[in-house]
Amino acid sequence: MIPERWQCNAVSVLSIHVLGEHMARLNINQLLALILLAFSLGYLWMAYQIPVFPIPRPVDSDAFPKLLGFSLLLLSVFLFFEKTAPAASAEKTEDELQPSGWHRQPKVQVFGTAVGVLAYAFLIEPLGFLLASILLGVGLAYWFGYRQHWINLATVGGIVLALYLLMNKVMGIYLPQGLLPL
Amino acid sequence: MESLSNLIYGFSIALDPVNLMYVFIGVFAGTLIGMLPGLGPISALALMIPITFNLNPATGLILMAGVYYGAIFGGSTSSILLNAPGVAGTVATSFDGYPMAQKGMAGKALAIAAYASFVGGTVSIIGLMLIAPLLSKVAVSFGPAEYFSLMVLGLTAVVSLSDKSLTKGLIAAIVGMMISIIGIDLQTGTERYTFGSIELIEGIDFLVVALGVFALAEVFFMLLRNSNKPQKRNEIGSLKLTGAEVKEIAAPIGRSSILGFFTGVLPGAGATIGSFLGYSMEKRLAKDGDTFGKGNIKGVAAPESANNAACGGSFVPLLTLGVPGSGTTAVLLGALLVMGVTPGPMMLEQRPDVFWGVIASMYIGNIFLLVLNLPLIPYIARILDAPRPLLLSLILIFCMVGVYGLSFSSFDLVLLLVFGLIGLVMRLYGFPAAPLILGLILGALMEESMRRALQISGGDWSTFLDKPISLTLLVIALLSLTLPLIKKGWQKARR
Amino acid sequence: MNVMLKKPLKTLALMGAALTLAGGVASQAVASDWTPSRAVEFIAPANPGGGWDTLVRTTSNVIRTENLADQNFAAINVPGGGGAVAWAQIARDNRNDHKLFATSPPIILVPLAGTSRFNHTHFTPVARLITDYSIVLVPQNSPYQSINDLFAAIGENPRISVGGGSAAGSMDHISIAGAAAAAGLNAASVNYIAFSGGGEAMTNLLGGHVDAVITGAGEAMAQLQGGELRALGVSAPERIPGLDVPTYKEQGLDYTFDIWRGVMAPKDISEDALRYYEDLFARMMETDDWKAATERLGWLDAYQNSEEFGAFLDLQLEQFRSVLGELGLLRN
């Protein structure tokens, strides 16, 4: 007979051990599943905040969001326990790369592009469509490693100008002018 | 026989030099606009209305119809070359068109798109000509309950669109539906998931999501994968189809054209849903269905013939009932009304010149589109020859301009970036993007029609089973879900 | 039916001209030196094809064909939220002298229902242009012969569905619910089905999916000519000439509902620009092209200048507030 207290301890030690093992082995799918689970809980919480329509409806505004929230909750649980295929191909690529500088690191490249797009969103109105688009286009091509500056400027400039003229002059869609008088 | 003499009458109008010129202008402008991401047929048509005021109604509608089907025709180009769909109806084309271009078969993909569009367009004109008045009854027979069931059927395509993990495909579809219901709810006027933001009241535009998870995510993905590998030259490849290939795509084009036409006839369904239905139908029917999404030629042929056929089909409710089935045909209706033509049951008698003239002009326009596009393919496909850094930068510019042109809102540009990053994460961890787009298209429509149907029936759910069309659609949906499972189980059992 | 409709519609324009007299004269006196320096964005806060859109496109077209302005009036659709989306966009751009938008009762109704942060006081009224009325349609073979038949049936069977082209709590819903209340029913007992436009609602009526539809008389004209639909009643104070449809009042229902349409500008538009547009629209309504267009579309001219329109809107706000309160839909 094992003393009760001892047994209890053993169980808890065991469970901690299992949990620890599990945490260590948490694969990317399970991590994503946990994120989706948290997201679906937040989504559901918001679904319960949707006000009731004063005139009774057979199905009110909140029903479909609740259904979607619970479905995602369920699916994220499935995803957690799903057997995963061998690791995603993304990791393999990093070995092939021999970056020639910090800015050539793929992740830095993506990050820089995202920053560029964000900057464009905020600068398109003050700078105007033409200037902002040419800056972004030429800048990104340079960032991606293109060094033929004149061809870069001519191509991007030509295409942006053509788009601008087509939209502004031909189709009557009015794009912000900004600093340039055109 | 009667329709033949009517058609001859129609051609006598359409072949008038002025009308011939406007068909040409229409399809040319339409292709060009369709090629640019973000500039869809609606904006092109709305902007064309002032021009048509000075034209005779037949000429005006000939021009506008040309722009409409021209834009759908041209929309496939940027889907195939850049993975950046030009119009909503061509999103499905990018599923296989872009992989084909990556494999050095851009020329072939574009050629197939052109041929499929041509056949789809022509089939729909024949349908429009022969059975339009009959079809108007089909169009009105679709009420809220029937639409709900149609959307359910459409959603079953998630199964065939998610290749590796069904769970991940379903998650993508649910997220797509979650995006689709953001904004004001029509049935109650309540705001949902807008976070109090003014910009989200109108919901999120379909193309912002599509360009984000396809084009932007693709650029990010390419940056991650081989940013400093020496660039290999992009092959455009031959435009020529082998006899075997023609044989292979003939049946899918035929089936998808007919499917697309009927989808187009239904108000509210249209080219986008038609192309998705065509794609998933062919994927299920094909013996090599598992190569769909990896550059299967049938995966280009099916959605392209379906979306062009749907475009023709959408003229049925417009011309025979006088009710627009989509935003695009609503603009056409508005233009016709202002020109003094009332589309509807009386139109065939009152303005046969407009009705038959437009139909005849569509035959001519489709031929124009084919002979215009085929010789241009090698030149347009040259864009892939651009040095890769420059090409990536240009794709980004096209997306940004397209999105900004939709709403003139910087907020949408930020959203584009968000969806680009979401698309990248999905891409890296094996979540398919197509079900997300499908959920986005069908989610809000499904919810809306379900609630309408239930409100009409007083909350009685049997309304979906009582109506024969609705029941049929639900049964097909159920079969399309269970048959592959049964088949698989049977094969396993036999082994 | 077609022939019958056309001729008397001419008198409709005359009637409208009488209505405009007061406003038209007043505004002609003021003209300013300000002219638009670039194209004017003329926003329809809805999808193409509806009432606002038709107004915007017709007006832009008349201004262009009659050479009333040096600059183009570009029709832009900003759909969503029964107008709230466009209002929010315009409210953010509150100093733009080159932006106008079409407006009608939803600018008051939607904020009252609590789904727009912006109402007519956040904008500058430019001019009221025309009015239209609600019309109740049923299929040709419907058992209901009069508006009273329909309401009596609704009283017995609350499942009878009435489709409309705007969101619940918005224009079409209020119009039919108010009429039902006037007929002695509980306003909330009308089973109103919201469709995304009058066209979609009428398609559903043609297919027999709803029992009746309420929409604008102008929008319904084409369908009435087609002969598959029939009108039970119209919300006008007097019978609309040329439209062979009895008013609610004739049928013993003391209720009218105007679907007025006009033009508004951002809140902080310059005084000069406001005068320019006010005058422009007054002049536009005198042109032959405008008269031809209103005749075709079945509109009644109802011009008011900026000041009169503003006062009218305040009055409408009070009326709608009380109607919505009775319906239990007042949320703001």
Nearest residue in A to C330, CA atom:
A54
CB atoms within 10 A of CB C301: 24
d(CA B333, CA B328): 9
- The B residues from 425 to 484 touching C (CB cutoff 8 Å) are 448, 452, 455-458
d(CA B303, CA B253): 9
CB-CB contact of C157 with C128 (8 Å): no
Per residue in B342-387, pLDDT (tens digit) is 777 777 777 888 888 998 999 999 999 999 888 888 888 888 788 8
Whether residue A107 sits in one domain with residue A68: no
- Could A174 and C38 be called an inter-chain contact, meaning their C-beta atoms sit closer than 8 Å? yes
Whether residue A56 sits in one domain with residue A13: yes
Number of cross-chain residue pairs from B and C with Cβ atoms under 8 Å apart: 161
Nearest residue in C to B142, CA atom:
C207
Query: End of a domain among A37, A56, A86?
Result: A86
Average pLDDT over residues C132-139: 92
Average pLDDT over residues C232-258: 89
- Could C199 and B268 be called an inter-chain contact, meaning their C-beta atoms sit closer than 8 Å? no
Whether residue A158 sits in one domain with residue A126: yes
d(CA C52, CA C36): 22
- Asked whether residue A113 is assigned to any structural domain, the reply reads yes
- Å from B427 to nearest chain A CA? 10
Of C167, C199, C226, which has the smallest distance from its Cβ to B324's Cβ? C199
d(CA C174, CA C320): 9
What is the reported pLDDT for C203?
85
- Which residues on chain C are in Cβ contact (under 8 Å) with B190? 115
d(CA C50, CA C181): 27
What is the reported pLDDT for A174?
62
d(CA B262, CA B285): 19
* Domains, in order of start, for chain C: 2-132+258-327 (3.40.190.150), 133-251 (3.40.190.10)
CB-CB contact of B450 with B155 (8 Å): no
- Asked whether residue A32 is assigned to any structural domain, the reply reads yes
- Residue C215 is encoded by which pair of tokens? 């929409």
Q: Which domain holds residue A127?
A: 101-171
- Could A79 and B168 be called an inter-chain contact, meaning their C-beta atoms sit closer than 8 Å? yes
Number of cross-chain residue pairs from A and B with Cβ atoms under 8 Å apart: 190
3-class secondary-structure state, position B390: helix
- Å from C266 to nearest chain A CA? 18
CB-CB contact of B112 with B300 (8 Å): yes
CB-CB contact of B146 with B476 (8 Å): no
DSSP assignment of A11-23 equals HHHHHHHHHHHHH
What is the reported pLDDT for A45?
95
Q: How confident is the model at residue C20 (pLDDT cuts 50, 70, 90)?
A: very low
What is the reported pLDDT for A24?
53
Chains that touch B (3 or more CB pairs under 8 A): A, C
- Could B429 and A28 be called an inter-chain contact, meaning their C-beta atoms sit closer than 8 Å? yes
CB-CB contact of A72 with B207 (8 Å): no
Q: Which residues lie closer than 8 Å to C291 by C-beta, 6 or more apart? A: C13
In single-letter form, the type of residue at position A128 comes to G
Q: How confident is the model at residue A13 (pLDDT cuts 50, 70, 90)?
A: very low
CB-CB contact of C230 with C142 (8 Å): yes
- Could B184 and C80 be called an inter-chain contact, meaning their C-beta atoms sit closer than 8 Å? yes
Mutate to test the interface with B, among C203, C210, C215, C289 (most CBs of B within 10 A): C203
- Number of separate domains in chain A: 2
- Asked whether residue A10 is assigned to any structural domain, the reply reads yes
Mutate to test the interface with A, among B155, B223, B415, B461 (most CBs of A within 10 A): B223
Closest CA to A28 of B165, B218, B219, B215: B165
- Could C39 and A172 be called an inter-chain contact, meaning their C-beta atoms sit closer than 8 Å? yes
CA distances in angstroms from A72 to A35, A79, B167, C198, listed in the order given: 11, 10, 10, 36
Nearest residue in B to C48, CA atom:
B331
Per residue in C42-73, pLDDT (tens digit) is 998 876 656 787 888 889 889 988 888 888 88
- Which residues on chain A are in Cβ contact (under 8 Å) with B457? 58
- Asked whether residue A91 is assigned to any structural domain, the reply reads no
d(CA B177, CA A177): 37
Per residue in A114-156, pLDDT (tens digit) is 999 999 999 988 898 899 999 999 999 998 888 888 989 998 9
- The A residues from 2 to 41 touching B (CB cutoff 8 Å) are 28-29, 32, 36
Q: Note the ipTM here.
A: 0.81
- Å from C25 to nearest chain B CA? 28
3-class secondary-structure state, position B363: helix
- Å from C65 to nearest chain B CA? 9
Q: What is the largest CA-CA distance in chain A?
A: 92
- Residue C172 is encoded by which pair of tokens? 């079409």
- The C residues from 240 to 279 touching A (CB cutoff 8 Å) are none
CB-CB contact of C140 with C276 (8 Å): no
What is the reported pLDDT for A15?
43
- Asked whether residue A182 is assigned to any structural domain, the reply reads no
CA C82 to the chain's CA centroid: 13
- Which residues on chain A are in Cβ contact (under 8 Å) with B44? 171
Mutate to test the interface with B, among C206, C213, C223, C229 (most CBs of B within 10 A): C206
- Å from A23 to nearest chain B CA? 19
- Asked whether residue A177 is assigned to any structural domain, the reply reads no
CB atoms within 10 A of CB B285: 13
- Could A171 and B187 be called an inter-chain contact, meaning their C-beta atoms sit closer than 8 Å? no
What is the reported pLDDT for A11?
41
Between C288 and B328, name the one with better pLDDT.
C288
- Could B193 and A68 be called an inter-chain contact, meaning their C-beta atoms sit closer than 8 Å? no
The dihedrals phi and psi of C215, each to the nearest 5 degrees, come to: -155, 180
- Could C329 and A55 be called an inter-chain contact, meaning their C-beta atoms sit closer than 8 Å? yes
Low-confidence residues of chain B: pLDDT under 50: 230
What is the reported pLDDT for C32?
58
- The A residues from 68 to 107 touching B (CB cutoff 8 Å) are 68, 71-72, 75-76, 78-79, 82, 85, 88, 90, 93, 96-100, 104, 106-107
What is the reported pLDDT for C278?
93
Query: End of a domain among A56, A86, A116?
Result: A86
Rg (CA), chain B: 22
Per residue in A92-124, pLDDT (tens digit) is 444 444 556 677 788 888 899 999 999 999 998
- Could B143 and C296 be called an inter-chain contact, meaning their C-beta atoms sit closer than 8 Å? no
**Residue B138 contacts C, CB cutoff 8 Å:** no
- Å from A55 to nearest chain C CA? 7
Nearest residue in C to A56, CA atom:
C188
CB atoms within 10 A of CB B237: 18
What is the reported pLDDT for A7?
43
Whether residue A126 sits in one domain with residue A77: no
Between C104 and B339, name the one with better pLDDT.
C104
- Asked whether residue A27 is assigned to any structural domain, the reply reads yes
The number of CA neighbours under 13 Å toward the Cβ of A43 is 24
What is the reported pLDDT for B258?
93
d(CA A54, CA A50): 12
d(CA B144, CA B159): 24
- Which residues on chain A are in Cβ contact (under 8 Å) with C38? 174
Nearest residue in B to C44, CA atom:
B46
Nearest residue in A to B36, CA atom:
A163
Per residue in C174-218, pLDDT (tens digit) is 889 889 988 988 888 889 999 877 878 888 998 899 999 999 887
- Could A117 and B390 be called an inter-chain contact, meaning their C-beta atoms sit closer than 8 Å? no
- Residue B388 is encoded by which pair of tokens? 């890769």
- Could C225 and B346 be called an inter-chain contact, meaning their C-beta atoms sit closer than 8 Å? yes
**Residue A55 contacts C, CB cutoff 8 Å:** yes
Nearest residue in C to B406, CA atom:
C78
